[in-house]
Protein backbone atom coordinates (compact mmCIF):
# COMPACT_ATOMS: atom_id res chain seq x y z
CA UNK A 1 0.00 0.00 0.00
CA UNK A 2 2.84 2.41 -0.64
CA UNK A 3 0.91 4.32 -3.21
CA UNK A 4 1.18 7.64 -1.42
CA UNK A 5 0.83 10.52 -3.74
CA UNK A 6 -1.61 8.87 -6.13
CA UNK A 7 -5.03 10.42 -6.37
CA UNK A 8 -7.57 8.34 -4.45
CA UNK A 9 -10.68 10.45 -4.96
CA UNK A 10 -11.14 12.98 -7.70
CA UNK A 11 -14.19 15.22 -8.03
CA UNK A 12 -14.28 17.69 -10.90
CA UNK A 13 -17.04 20.27 -11.16
CA UNK A 14 -19.57 18.01 -9.46
CA UNK A 15 -23.18 19.11 -9.48
CA UNK A 16 -26.07 17.25 -7.88
CA UNK A 17 -29.65 18.28 -8.03
CA UNK A 18 -32.63 16.76 -6.29
CA UNK A 19 -36.24 16.92 -7.30
CA UNK A 20 -38.11 17.70 -4.15
CA UNK A 21 -41.65 16.97 -5.15
CA UNK A 22 -42.92 14.65 -7.79
CA UNK A 23 -46.33 14.42 -9.22
CA UNK A 24 -46.90 10.84 -10.12
CA UNK A 25 -50.63 10.56 -10.07
CA UNK A 26 -52.66 10.92 -13.22
CA UNK A 27 -55.24 13.04 -11.41
CA UNK A 28 -52.78 15.72 -10.34
CA UNK A 29 -51.18 15.81 -13.77
CA UNK A 30 -54.57 16.27 -15.42
CA UNK A 31 -55.57 19.05 -13.03
CA UNK A 32 -52.27 20.76 -13.82
CA UNK A 33 -52.93 20.50 -17.58
CA UNK A 34 -56.50 21.72 -17.30
CA UNK A 35 -55.46 24.74 -15.22
CA UNK A 36 -53.17 25.86 -18.01
CA UNK A 37 -49.92 24.35 -16.70
CA UNK A 38 -49.57 26.87 -13.91
CA UNK A 39 -46.58 26.36 -11.70
CA UNK A 40 -44.03 23.64 -11.84
CA UNK A 41 -44.93 20.02 -11.43
CA UNK A 42 -41.65 19.50 -9.64
CA UNK A 43 -39.40 21.63 -7.49
CA UNK A 44 -35.65 21.33 -7.75
CA UNK A 45 -32.97 21.75 -5.17
CA UNK A 46 -29.27 22.09 -5.88
CA UNK A 47 -27.42 20.03 -3.27
CA UNK A 48 -23.92 20.36 -4.70
CA UNK A 49 -22.55 22.87 -7.17
CA UNK A 50 -19.11 23.11 -8.78
CA UNK A 51 -17.49 20.88 -6.21
CA UNK A 52 -13.92 20.09 -7.20
CA UNK A 53 -11.81 18.14 -4.81
CA UNK A 54 -8.81 15.88 -4.98
CA UNK A 55 -7.80 13.50 -2.23
CA UNK A 56 -4.44 11.76 -2.38
CA UNK A 57 -3.93 8.24 -1.13
CA UNK A 58 -3.17 8.16 2.56
CA UNK A 59 -4.75 11.53 3.25
CA UNK A 60 -7.20 11.96 6.09
CA UNK A 61 -9.87 14.45 5.19
CA UNK A 62 -12.65 15.82 7.35
CA UNK A 63 -15.67 17.08 5.47
CA UNK A 64 -17.22 19.82 7.54
CA UNK A 65 -20.27 21.97 7.24
CA UNK A 66 -23.60 22.72 8.82
CA UNK A 67 -26.65 20.56 8.30
CA UNK A 68 -27.83 20.60 4.69
CA UNK A 69 -24.53 21.77 3.27
CA UNK A 70 -24.26 18.66 1.07
CA UNK A 71 -21.77 16.56 3.05
CA UNK A 72 -23.69 13.30 2.94
CA UNK A 73 -24.61 13.82 -0.70
CA UNK A 74 -20.93 14.15 -1.58
CA UNK A 75 -20.16 11.00 0.38
CA UNK A 76 -22.89 9.11 -1.47
CA UNK A 77 -21.54 10.30 -4.80
CA UNK A 78 -18.10 9.00 -3.88
CA UNK A 79 -19.48 5.65 -2.77
CA UNK A 80 -21.41 5.31 -6.02
CA UNK A 81 -24.86 5.20 -4.44
CA UNK A 82 -25.76 8.44 -6.23
CA UNK A 83 -24.64 9.58 -9.65
CA UNK A 84 -23.70 13.23 -10.32
CA UNK A 85 -25.86 15.35 -12.63
CA UNK A 86 -22.79 17.18 -13.84
CA UNK A 87 -19.03 16.80 -13.56
CA UNK A 88 -17.20 13.58 -12.78
CA UNK A 89 -16.40 11.61 -9.67
CA UNK A 90 -13.66 9.00 -9.83
CA UNK A 91 -12.07 6.79 -7.22
CA UNK A 92 -9.13 4.44 -7.09
CA UNK A 93 -9.27 1.06 -5.41
CA UNK A 94 -12.09 -0.34 -3.32
CA UNK A 95 -14.19 2.22 -1.50
CA UNK A 96 -16.16 1.12 1.51
CA UNK A 97 -18.36 3.14 3.71
CA UNK A 98 -18.89 3.18 7.40
CA UNK A 99 -22.07 4.88 6.28
CA UNK A 100 -25.08 4.02 8.38
CA UNK A 101 -23.59 0.91 9.90
CA UNK A 102 -25.93 -2.02 10.01
CA UNK A 103 -27.84 -1.10 6.86
CA UNK A 104 -27.34 -4.63 5.59
CA UNK A 105 -28.35 -6.36 8.82
CA UNK A 106 -31.32 -8.64 8.94
CA UNK A 107 -33.04 -8.94 12.30
CA UNK A 108 -34.05 -12.56 11.94
CA UNK A 109 -30.57 -13.82 11.19
CA UNK A 110 -27.97 -14.72 13.77
CA UNK A 111 -24.96 -12.50 14.38
CA UNK A 112 -22.82 -15.02 12.53
CA UNK A 113 -25.03 -14.98 9.42
CA UNK A 114 -25.11 -11.20 9.53
CA UNK A 115 -21.32 -10.99 9.67
CA UNK A 116 -21.15 -12.98 6.44
CA UNK A 117 -24.02 -11.14 4.76
CA UNK A 118 -22.87 -7.67 5.74
CA UNK A 119 -19.25 -8.46 4.98
CA UNK A 120 -20.21 -9.61 1.50
CA UNK A 121 -22.37 -6.52 1.01
CA UNK A 122 -19.37 -4.37 1.90
CA UNK A 123 -17.35 -6.20 -0.73
CA UNK A 124 -15.45 -8.88 1.20
CA UNK A 125 -14.87 -12.32 -0.27
CA UNK A 126 -15.79 -15.54 1.49
CA UNK A 127 -12.13 -16.25 2.25
CA UNK A 128 -11.56 -12.78 3.71
CA UNK A 129 -14.55 -13.13 6.02
CA UNK A 130 -13.47 -16.61 7.13
CA UNK A 131 -10.06 -15.22 8.01
CA UNK A 132 -11.39 -12.11 9.73
CA UNK A 133 -14.31 -13.74 11.51
CA UNK A 134 -12.68 -14.29 14.91
CA UNK A 135 -11.15 -10.85 14.85
CA UNK A 136 -14.53 -9.28 14.01
CA UNK A 137 -16.24 -11.07 16.89
CA UNK A 138 -13.46 -10.20 19.29
CA UNK A 139 -13.46 -6.53 18.40
CA UNK A 140 -17.24 -6.31 18.72
CA UNK A 141 -17.16 -7.88 22.22
CA UNK A 142 -20.27 -9.88 21.29
CA UNK A 143 -18.77 -13.15 22.52
CA UNK A 144 -21.17 -16.04 22.95
CA UNK A 145 -24.11 -14.06 21.55
CA UNK A 146 -22.73 -14.37 18.02
CA UNK A 147 -25.16 -17.22 17.30
CA UNK A 148 -28.14 -15.35 18.72
CA UNK A 149 -30.55 -13.61 16.38
CA UNK A 150 -29.68 -9.96 15.98
CA UNK A 151 -33.15 -8.81 17.01
CA UNK A 152 -32.36 -9.83 20.60
CA UNK A 153 -29.22 -7.67 20.68
CA UNK A 154 -29.12 -4.45 22.63
CA UNK A 155 -28.66 -1.40 20.45
CA UNK A 156 -25.07 -1.13 21.64
CA UNK A 157 -24.28 -4.71 20.69
CA UNK A 158 -25.89 -4.19 17.32
CA UNK A 159 -23.80 -1.11 16.54
CA UNK A 160 -20.61 -2.68 17.85
CA UNK A 161 -20.99 -5.69 15.60
CA UNK A 162 -21.84 -3.54 12.58
CA UNK A 163 -18.91 -1.24 13.20
CA UNK A 164 -16.58 -4.15 13.74
CA UNK A 165 -17.51 -5.67 10.36
CA UNK A 166 -17.08 -2.34 8.63
CA UNK A 167 -13.59 -1.67 9.98
CA UNK A 168 -12.50 -5.16 8.98
CA UNK A 169 -13.46 -4.77 5.31
CA UNK A 170 -10.02 -3.38 4.53
CA UNK A 171 -10.73 -1.13 1.54
CA UNK A 172 -8.32 1.45 0.15
CA UNK A 173 -10.68 4.33 0.80
CA UNK A 174 -12.82 4.60 3.93
CA UNK A 175 -15.88 6.80 3.96
CA UNK A 176 -17.07 7.54 7.49
CA UNK A 177 -20.36 9.28 8.15
CA UNK A 178 -21.27 10.17 11.73
CA UNK A 179 -20.59 6.80 13.21
CA UNK A 180 -17.96 7.75 15.70
CA UNK A 181 -20.69 7.95 18.30
CA UNK A 182 -20.93 4.20 18.59
CA UNK A 183 -21.59 2.46 21.87
CA UNK A 184 -20.32 3.48 25.27
CA UNK A 185 -17.25 5.51 26.14
CA UNK A 186 -14.71 2.63 26.20
CA UNK A 187 -15.94 1.28 22.88
CA UNK A 188 -15.87 4.74 21.35
CA UNK A 189 -12.24 5.10 22.39
CA UNK A 190 -11.55 1.73 20.82
CA UNK A 191 -13.22 2.81 17.57
CA UNK A 192 -11.23 6.02 17.40
CA UNK A 193 -8.02 4.12 18.09
CA UNK A 194 -8.94 1.74 15.27
CA UNK A 195 -9.61 4.60 12.87
CA UNK A 196 -6.32 6.23 13.77
CA UNK A 197 -4.62 2.91 13.22
CA UNK A 198 -6.15 2.74 9.74
CA UNK A 199 -4.88 6.24 9.00
CA UNK A 200 -1.38 5.25 10.11
CA UNK A 201 -1.54 2.22 7.82
CA UNK A 202 -1.87 4.64 4.94
CA UNK A 203 -5.58 4.22 4.27
CA UNK A 204 -7.42 7.16 2.82
CA UNK A 205 -10.03 8.42 5.24
CA UNK A 206 -12.91 10.70 4.33
CA UNK A 207 -14.82 11.62 7.45
CA UNK A 208 -18.07 13.47 8.00
CA UNK A 209 -18.80 14.41 11.57
CA UNK A 210 -20.21 17.18 13.70
CA UNK A 211 -17.84 16.32 16.51
CA UNK A 212 -15.27 18.97 15.61
CA UNK A 213 -12.77 18.20 18.36
CA UNK A 214 -12.78 14.57 17.39
CA UNK A 215 -12.24 15.07 13.67
CA UNK A 216 -9.46 17.49 14.43
CA UNK A 217 -7.56 14.71 16.19
CA UNK A 218 -8.22 12.08 13.49
CA UNK A 219 -7.83 14.13 10.31
CA UNK A 220 -5.13 16.39 8.95
CA UNK A 221 -7.03 18.18 6.22
CA UNK A 222 -10.39 19.87 6.41
CA UNK A 223 -12.84 20.78 3.68
CA UNK A 224 -15.66 23.16 4.46
CA UNK A 225 -18.91 22.92 2.50
CA UNK A 226 -21.55 25.62 2.56
CA UNK A 227 -24.76 25.45 0.52
CA UNK A 228 -23.25 22.81 -1.72
CA UNK A 229 -20.02 24.62 -2.51
CA UNK A 230 -16.50 24.23 -1.20
CA UNK A 231 -15.68 27.43 0.67
CA UNK A 232 -12.49 26.40 2.37
CA UNK A 233 -9.90 23.65 2.01
CA UNK A 234 -6.83 23.43 4.23
CA UNK A 235 -5.42 22.39 7.57
CA UNK A 236 -8.14 20.85 9.69
CA UNK A 237 -7.58 23.20 12.64
CA UNK A 238 -7.97 26.27 10.45
CA UNK A 239 -11.11 24.90 8.85
CA UNK A 240 -12.63 23.93 12.19
CA UNK A 241 -11.88 27.46 13.42
CA UNK A 242 -13.53 28.95 10.37
CA UNK A 243 -16.62 26.77 10.78
CA UNK A 244 -16.89 27.77 14.46
CA UNK A 245 -16.61 31.43 13.50
CA UNK A 246 -19.27 31.09 10.81
CA UNK A 247 -21.71 29.17 12.97
CA UNK A 248 -21.31 31.67 15.79
CA UNK A 249 -22.48 34.43 13.48
CA UNK A 250 -25.54 32.49 12.29
Partner 1 sequence: MANPVDTLVKPGSGRGLLDVYGDRFLLKLLVRKEIKIRYRGSVLGLMWSYVKPLMQFLIYFIALGIFLNLEHGTPNYAIYLFSGIVLVNFFTESLSNATRSIVDNRDLIRKIYLPRELFPVATVWVSAAHFLPQLLVLIAACLFVGWTPSVLQIAAAVLIFVMVAVLATGLGLMFGAVNVYFRDSENIVDMIVMVVTWASPVLYVWTMVERVMGQWFWVYMLNPMTVAVEVFHWTFWEPTLKANQLVSDTMPPDLLTFWLPVSLLISVAILFIGQLMFRRLSVHFAQEL
Q: Which residues bind partner 1 (CB under 8 A)?
A: 3, 7, 10, 18, 24, 76-83, 88-95, 97, 99-100, 103-104, 106, 108-109, 113, 116-117, 120-123, 125-126, 172
Nearest to 139 by CA among 169, 178, 110: 169
Distance of CA 28 to the CA centre of its chain: 37
CB of 26 to partner 1, least distance (A): 9
Taking the complex as a whole, the smallest distance from the CB of residue 94 to partner 1 amounts, in Å, to 6
Task: Compare residues 82 and 223 and give the one whose CB is closer to partner 1.
Answer: 82
- How many angstroms separate the CA atoms of 99 and 140, rounded? 17
**How far apart are CB 88 and partner 1 at their closest, in Å?**
7
**Minimum separation from the CB atom of position 199 to partner 1 (A):** 18
Q: Which residues pair with 16 in a beta bridge?
A: 48
Q: How far is residue 131 CA from its own chain's centroid?
A: 25
CB-nearer residue toward partner 1: 92 or 246: 92
Residue with Cβ nearer partner 1 (67 or 83): 83
Q: With respect to partner 1, which residue has the nearer C-beta, 78 or 239? A: 78
Nearer to partner 1, 83 or 249 (CB): 83
* Smallest distance, partner 1 to C-beta of residue 123, A: 5
Spatial CB neighbours of 43, under 8 Å, sequence gap ≥ 6: 19, 20, 21
Which of 24, 37 has the CB closer to partner 1?
24
Rg of the chain, C-alpha, whole Å: 21
CA distances from 143 to 30, 137, 161 (A): 60, 7, 10
CB of 88 closer than 8 Å to CB of 14 = yes
Q: What is the Cα–Cα distance from 41 to 231, expressed in whole angstroms?
A: 33
CB of 213 to partner 1, least distance (A): 27
Amino acid sequence: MSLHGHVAISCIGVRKQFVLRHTRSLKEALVWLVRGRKGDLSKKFLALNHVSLEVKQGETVALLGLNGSGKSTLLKLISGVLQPDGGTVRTRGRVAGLIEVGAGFHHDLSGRDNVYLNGAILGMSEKQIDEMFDSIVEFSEIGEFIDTEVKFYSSGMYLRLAFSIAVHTDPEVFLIDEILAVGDEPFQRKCIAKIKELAEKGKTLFVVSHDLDLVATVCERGVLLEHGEVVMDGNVHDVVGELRRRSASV
